Amino acid sequence: MATPNESRNAFEEVVPPSASASSSNPAKKGKRVPFDVFINHRGPDTKHTLAASIYDTLKSMGLEVFLDEPELELGDFIPFEIQEAMTTSFLHIAILSPKYAESPWCLAELSFMLKTGRPVIPVFYKVDPGDIRWTAKGKGVYTQAFSKHKENGRYSLEKLEDWKVALQNVTFLTGHIVKENE
């Protein structure tokens, strides 16, 4: 389970320190219903295809599903809303795509989801779990993305290692593999 400190800091190195939750809509705080499912994805890769399809299917079954674009409203403080959705969700779905690791948000979400102790179902979209597993060793499909994260110096080596471990750990969970032609 995530400790209160881990919960409070899920996006600490992704969101600039100058950003503040005070910009969220206080009238809405505490009014959201808990979500059944949280969908973690890299928008440009899957938002309007696979993630949208999973969202629509689960919603049609009567589930409360969090996918950022349809659920976030104008004026929402994004880190707060996403973290709240992950915290209240019973189940997490992580869609790992070829450019997934380029997104610090995706990596921060994945790390947090795994720390909650709630079920995580990985969907390996056009990537092989065995190849992702090598990320922790500095090899594999996400090597270039991590090199760029390291080069830009914005994220601590500890944070980068945490994200690599999260990627490695998610590959040991049973999930779905979606190949090119599916």
Residues designated catalytic? 109
DSSP secondary structure string for all residues of 118-163:
S-EEEEEESS-HHHHHGGGGT-STTHHHHHHHHHH--S-HHHHHHH
Cα 141 off chain centre by:
18
The Cα-based distances of 78 to 22, 57, 143, 167 in angstroms read 12, 24, 28, 23
Task: Give the Cα separation of 42 and 94 in Å (integer).
Answer: 9
Task: Give the Cα separation of 130 and 88 in Å (integer).
Answer: 30
Q: Which of 58, 68, 43 is nearest to 90 (CA)?
A: 58
CB atoms within 10 A of CB 166: 22
Task: Give the Cα separation of 137 and 131 in Å (integer).
Answer: 11
